Structure 1
Amino acid sequence: MNFYSLFNNIAYLGSITNSIYTTNQSNNLYSAVKKIVELVGGIGGLLFTLAILIITLFIIFGSISAAKMRTVWISLISCCCGAFVFYAAYYLSDTIAGIAAK
């Protein structure tokens, strides 16, 4: 066996595994999962973003005692992480629906 035929075999195996990333977008399950993930991701991201804005206003205007500042900063970081997760789900809704429809 020469290197050329070995390379062709490896390329052929790679093309077989590539088919898991393609999906039939006319599938009803695909459409339903995509809509649900976009809805939940969008609303969750929106709510976490609003929470970030409110917590930031409290920090800026200093209406929180010094003893409670640690809790507020932890809450702010947690809301940032939550918003990231929900927005990531929103932007990856096509991939999530493709996985669910397989």
Structure 2
Amino acid sequence: MITHIVFFKLKDRSRESAERTAQVLRDMEGRIEELKYIEVGLDVIHSERSYDIALVTKFESLEALGAYAVHPVHQKVVEHIKEVSESSVTVDYEG
């Protein structure tokens, strides 16, 4: 199992903006066969070093993660994220 975690810092850090983007992420559920698990969380601390949204996804293999990366549904999400995010960081691990 591959776990793919991404943190997003938004340009507009308001709760409303974070909720809109979180929903865009959640809308991938059930639309990409390779995506076996998805969780989206909004930051509650709001410190200077905090990121606004956490995305946790799981895949059966690196190949499945690769298929997700190029899937048209995911590519639409990537377009949205490029418009609204200031920065992001990611971690991918087996286990």
Give TM-score, length-normalised by structure 1: 0.29
Which structure has the larger Rg?
1
Give TM-score, length-normalised by structure 2: 0.31
- Larger helix proportion of the pair: 1
